[in-house]
Structure 1
Amino acid sequence: MRKMINTAFAYAIAAMAGGVFYREFTKFQGFEGRTSLAFVHTHLFLLGMVMFLVIGLFAARFDLNSRKQFRVFYVLYNAGVILTSIMLLIRGVVQVTGPEISRGMDAAISGVAGIGHILTGIGIILLFLSLRSWTRNDG
């Protein structure tokens, strides 16, 4: 349970930093339009902090770390959320600063973000499989 709470805490700090960066960077740049930077804060809070607080409640009831599926979930899910958030940050900085980027670079940013989403999705499936196996064995 402690590992889940610490993970939630790390995501909370990252989410707050993302929110402050969004506000200050757009203000400094004089940018008033829509940008992907706005979503970094909410992605990290919801997919990071809230998710791991809820998982911490499950961890208090079940020994989740003893399951290989759960350990793989932890790695893949965190990698996916972090990768997605980094790509949102990169996309947002490009939107705010306004440089001309090539179609290849644009596609690369989208592609890497897509990989992050896929890892997050696989992680969610592994989490449910891990929880289902515990409830099946626990009654």
Structure 2
Amino acid sequence: MKKLYWSALIYMVLGLAAGLYYREFTKALDFTGDTQLSVLHTHLLALGMLFFLLVLALDKAFALSGNKLFTLFFWFYNSGLALTAAMMLVHGTLTVLGNESSAAISGIAGLGHILITLGLIHLFLALRKALPGKENAEQRIEAIR
């Protein structure tokens, strides 16, 4: 559970730093157009901090973190979000500097989205396994005997 707390905290700090970077960087270069830097702040706060706080509550309620599927979720999701956010930062910075983005940046960001998707699939599998149901109820009854 502490990993979830620390993840939420780190994404909060990164999200706030991204907002500051966007504001100061675009102001320093007198940039007024659209850039991915403008949404990096909210992506990190929503998909990072808020999401991990929600998962922390789910872990508290269903004891998810002891499950191998949950471990896979944690690493897939974190690596995907980090990769996606890094590419947003690179793409947005290039836009503000007036440089062209490359197809490689889009491809790497796409890989980040795939990793996030794999993480979410593993989270739902871990959650399904932890939910009370017929099989889980039978296992609990056997454990009591």
The interval holding the TM-score normalised by the smaller chain is over 0.9
Deviations 1:53-82 (A, max 9, x none): 000101112221211110011001000001
Larger Rg: 2
Which consecutive unaligned segments of at least 5 residues does structure 2 have?
A: 138-145
Indicate the SS of the match to 2:65. helix
In structure 1, distance between residues paired with 2:7 and 2:67? 18
Name the residue aligned to 1:112.
108
Aligned to 2:59: 59
Matched, 1:50 2:50: yes
Pairwise CA RMSD: 1.3
Alignment match, 2:94: 94
Partner of 2:25 in structure 1?
Answer: 25
Identity of aligned pairs, percent? 43
Report the CA distance between 1:2 and its aligned residue. Answer: 2.5
State the one-letter code of the partner of 1:121.
Answer: T
**Using a 3 Å threshold, how does the CA distance of structure 1 residues 138 and 52 change in structure 2: closer, same or farther?**
farther
- Any gaps of 5 or more consecutive residues in structure 1? none
CA distance, structure 2, for counterparts of residue 138 and residue 131 of structure 1:
12
1:2-28 C-alpha deviation (Å, 9 max, x unpaired):
221221011000000000000000000
Q: Paired residue for 1:15?
A: 15
**What CA distance in whole angstroms lies between the structure 2 residues aligned with 1:93 and 1:4?**
29
Normalising by the residue count of structure 2, what TM-score does the alignment of the two structures yield?
0.88
Distance 1:7 1:138 in 2: 30
Q: What is the identity, as a one-letter code, of the residue corresponding to 1:29?
A: L
Secondary structure of the 2:31 match is coil
Count of residue correspondences: 135
Q: Does 1:34 align with 2:30?
A: no
Q: Corresponding residue for 2:141?
A: none
1:128 is matched with 124
Q: Give the aligned residue type for 2:18.
A: G
